[in-house]
Structure 1
Amino acid sequence: MKIWDANLQALKARDRAGDLLPDLPAGPPAAHRVTLVPGPCPTLQVPGAKGRPVTLHSPREAWKEAEALAARAPVTPSRPLLALGLGLGYHLLKLLPRLAPEQPLVVVEQDPEILWAALQSLDLTPLLARPRTVLVVHPDALQTVSHLQTRLHLGNGGGVPLLWGHPASLRAANGFYEEVIAAFQTPRAVPPRSCGLKKESLRVLVVNSDYFLIPEASRAFKQLGHEPEIITFDKRRDNPEEVLHRILQRVVDFPPDLVFTANHLGFDREGLLAEALNRLRLPSVSWYVDSPAIILNLYAGPKSDLSSIFVWDPTYVPEVKALGFTQVFTLPLATDPGVFYPRPGAELSRWRTPVSFVGNSLIGSVAAKLERLPSSPEFLEMFRQLQEAFQAHPFRRLDLLLAEQGLAEHPLIRQLTINQWTDLEAGIIWAATRNYRLKCVRQLAPFKPTIYGDSGWGEMVAAPFRLRSEVNYYSDLPAIYGATAVNFNATSMQMKAAVNQRVFDVPAAGGFLLTDFKEQLTEVLEPGKETVCYHHPEEIPGLARFYLDRPEARRRIVERGRARILREHTYRHRIQEMLAVLRRNI
């Protein structure tokens, strides 16, 4: 209560003529929408888009985070600074030493409960006692703007304010702050859209973090007569700000017509690169071959009309559009026939086996996600419950799954940061995939299959399974696929309708594929003629036995499947299709 009392006294003692505040209570009111989370640095959980919780500050590095944000604040003594989002006030306290005494600071906050939480968490007296600080706390954007314009004369004789936002607050109350920002942004003429894509030969800046799709796409651009320029970085070791600087510098040195990446790699989470490309009117493309719903939740910033998202699974299109992207299209996976082609017998001999499966056990992947989540027995039981519910009825978003299980308002869920929310969703999908994959693979036991993968498989299966170490995608897989009589596939549960990479690579390498049915499969290959599929795990042994006993039937299916892949499903086809879509829509 000492902090609350000191802050309340400072608040009452200040000249509040310019403030717009709710009635001040004697003590901290009960919170109904926000959750104050104690810790090394107190933080606050607030409801965000679709009810998903947003954590306003780092629970361990809030001061460091605030210092970095304050360093980027526009400080001009002659112009008012409009600070959007109070949070608990870390960033505002770090800002004060940078402000000239005469510079007006106007703090805008939508939710009074956030103000009450701030008053009981940090010593805000330096901020509250500052004569040129104004506090505007009101839930209605129109009344907030009216107060700023009529009482404070901002934008109306009082000078156009500089805008400075607290990123997490902006995400949590995006609609409110967008209205405030729109009222004070200086209108700018939007340059005409780039017409560079109309050129026959394009300069393409390809952002590469050593992801498998990037080399294939780059070769396809080159085969089609375009000029790809690759910029590489290590997403695990390289500083995000340094990566951003290098990309922007390359944009200057190699003026591209298009920026291309996969899974948003290279784009910073604050949206600075997206904003810079939009200002340059430079189109960008991100081709998603993993769940965009999980990845894009981590990215803020503007959604440009020149930013296009291609998803390999068509069912993700509505979800991505709901995040604010307007240019969203479907683009299935493909193969590179320069890598996946039938190898000579000498290369196949060491890999000969009747049945094989190549894939990760996902044991380590799930464990890594759980390490970043609360470790209490209650939370682990909740994770198990959610995973089983997802397994029974897959392909639901986490928010819907939580609501169905009655866990949406559980304190342990509300306290999750946005990164932990993403880890929880990915962990559930991977755990369900692990169980589904194991159930399917166990059906192969009568054929003594070979499994190429990580050591986690040793925890799940034993003899008659023959376990081998992980193999190289480029140097080993083409020969493995060609040398195996029946290549088995069980699709990840993040794919609601799409088929995975194996569906394209195995036939291209001259291999026979037994895969699970997905809606997209019929658009890619004809089941029974160009590939073989099962609808339920119980069908696997019968199909495997049938085709192991009929090498001629396998050969005909492989020939037809490979011809279809080469005719329609190479990366050259996909890049050609992607550019055609961009040219029609941009």
Structure 2
Amino acid sequence: MHAPSLPWPASGRGSQGASGFWDKARIPRFRSAAPRVLLFTSGYFLQREIVSACARLGWQVFELPLPEGGRGTSEFVERLLAAAVEFAPDFALTVNHLGLDTQGRLLSLFEKLALPLASWFVDSPRLILHDFPGQPSPWCAVFTWDADTVDPLSAMGFEQVAHLPLAADTVLFAPGKVGKPAWDADVSFVGDSMARPLAALKKRLKAHPRALALALEAAPGFAASPEREALAYLRATSPELLALWEALPDAQARLDLEQTLTWEATRLYRLSRVATLAPFSPLVAGDAGWRAMLPAGGFKYHGPLDYSLDLPGFYPRSHVNFNATSLQMKGAVNQRVFDVPACGAFLLTDHREQMDALFEPGREVVCYREPEEIPGLVRHWLDNPGEREALVAAARERVLAQHDYTHRMKAMLKTMRRRYA
């Protein structure tokens, strides 16, 4: 974010109007049971679900659109200051730190406003906050979907860090949504092949061919490693690549190399698992990279699907929905684990350590650990529709009871109220 020209002096000295503004802005928070939430919006994932959950809870939300590019401008700051007085929020909320600047200027503004900010990470904080100074603030509470990132975020200096998993919008993902006959399949998979993001990263790193080549060579090892993050893996196993990473000219290039390792590992991981589905003629929905990567024959293809318009109707058209999680989250579960059972459909997913705290294994969720297990599990669940339906019913009951986004927003409010009321 470029340094904004604030519409009121920051200190308020020498200006009765400015002083009066800050007096109006710095108000007691969390005085009523239903909070008022100022939400940064950009059309990004999860923002729509937050709005829906808050509406169902009876909370008032003021949506503050972010400028193009996701960073603040003077006009954005003016709208933020106006909303702070006119809407009088109890707290502000952003996803993945969107809208915040690397220098911490906007965070300092929240401190002046005495307005708490919640930032909910649903992608790797390491890849978002790479080499950023000035991010921690006592007025910023951080929530993360991945329990493995709680300690690293605390180590960055954030004083309030809480694990807050993903969930489902059970109004959007509900049984009875109409799908298309073309989506009918015994087995289906929805996901990105990672071909496009990798192509973009390779282009940006072409000036560093040795580092790029070593990162691609290291990907299979990282995919199989218990190390959660690419940089930790480099430090533990690849001294030459780590030295090349350290020698890169700037933070963006270092991030690009970490992402290359993560996305190539994810590509290989997903490919090895989706490929085992060939005997069941699965429907693979996603980018064109799948056609180039998967073996010829045995697969049906569909283009990318819209999350909210298509997926609620797509999942119930398959007897078995298959999941292979991105390796930016080796311990956490992704959105599909909640959405598929929410709409009354069956999911076979890769096991994640954090899964067992969310669903009862074997009764509410079915997992594979190695690719060799997949064909046998798929065959069993295709051949036993009664078992499949019983598990779906139990999983959906769990989602409705504990894993709707209203549950996550209530948990967030409890944390924010405890710290800032």
Superposition TM-score, scaled by structure 1 size: 0.64
Would you say 1:295 and 2:118 are equivalent positions? no
Contact (CA 8 Å) 1:244, 1:266: kept in 2 or not?
A: no
Of the three residues 59, 69, 79, the one matched with 1:236 is 69
Pairwise mapping of residues 161-560 of structure 1 onto structure 2 (< 5 A)? 195-233=28-66, 235-236=68-69, 240=73, 242-297=75-130, 299-301=132-134, 303-343=136-176, 347=179, 349-403=181-235, 404-407=237-240, 410=243, 413-461=246-294, 462-560=296-394
**Equivalents in 2 of 1:456, 1:376: separation in Å?**
25
Equivalent residue letter for 1:515 = T
Q: Distance in 2 between matches of 1:409 and 1:540?
A: 35
CA distance in 2, matches of 1:255, 1:585: 18
The within-5 A match list for 1:79-98 is: none
SS of residue matched to 1:464: coil
State the alpha-carbon separation in 2 of the partners of residues 330 and 577 from structure 1: 10
**Higher mean C-alpha displacement, 517-526 vs 227-236:** 227-236
Q: Deviations over 1:154-205 (max 9, x none)?
A: xxxxxxxxxxxxxxxxxxxxxxxxxxxxxxxxxxxxxxx9741243122211
Q: Using the TM superposition, name which of 474-483 and 414-423 deviates more.
A: 414-423
* Structure of higher CA gyration radius: 1
1:551 to partner: Cα distance: 1.0
- How many angstroms does 1:360 deviate by? 0.7
Q: What does the per-residue CA deviation read over 1:269-305, in whole Å, with 9 as the maximum and x for residues that have no partner?
A: 2211111001211100011110012212253325221
TM-score of the aligned structures, taking structure 2 as reference length: 0.88
For 1:296 and 1:241, locate their aligned partners in 2 and report how far apart those are by CA, in whole Å: 23
**Deviation for aligned residue 1:378:** 1.8
Residue identity over aligned pairs, in percent, reads 41
Distance 1:237 1:386 in 2: 32
Structure 1 residues 352 and 411, CA gap change in structure 2 (3 angstroms): closer
Between 1 and 2, higher relative CO (CA 8 Å, sep ≥ 6) is seen in 2
Relative to 1, partners in 2 of residues 1:289 and 1:235: Cα closer, same or farther, differing over 3 Å? Answer: farther
With over 3 angstroms needed to count, the CA separation of the structure-2 counterparts of 1:503 and 1:237, relative to structure 1, is closer
2:13 is matched with: none
Q: CA deviation at 1:478?
A: 0.9
Residue-pair matches, total: 398
Which secondary structure does the structure 1 equivalent of 2:240 belong to?
coil
After the TM superposition, which of the residue ranges 568-577 and 392-401 deviates more from structure 2?
A: 392-401
Deviation of the 1:247 alpha carbon = 3.2
Instruction: Provide the C-alpha distance between the structure 2 equivalents of 1:365 and 1:382, rounded to a whole number of angstroms.
Output: 18
Q: Compared with structure 1, are the counterparts of its residues 352 and 266 closer, same or farther at alpha carbon in structure 2 (3 Å cutoff)?
A: same
Task: In structure 1, give the amino acid aligned to 2:302.
Answer: R
Partners in 1 of 2:148 and 2:129 — Cα distance?
Answer: 15
Instruction: Summarize deviations over 1:536-583 as a string: whole Å, max 9, x none.
Output: 111000000011111111111111111111111000011001111222
In structure 1, distance between residues paired with 2:180 and 2:197: 31
* Distance verdict in 2 for CA 1:376–1:411, change over 3 Å: closer
| Gap runs ≥5 in structure 1 | 1-64, 73-192
Matched, 1:577 2:416: no
2 CA distance for matches of 1:426 and 1:196? 39
Q: Secondary structure at the match of 1:196?
A: coil
Following superposition, the deviation at residue 347 of structure 1 comes to 3.6
Q: Which runs of 5+ in 2 are unaligned?
A: 6-25
**In structure 1, how many angstroms separate the alpha carbons of the residues matched to 2:239 and 2:132?**
28
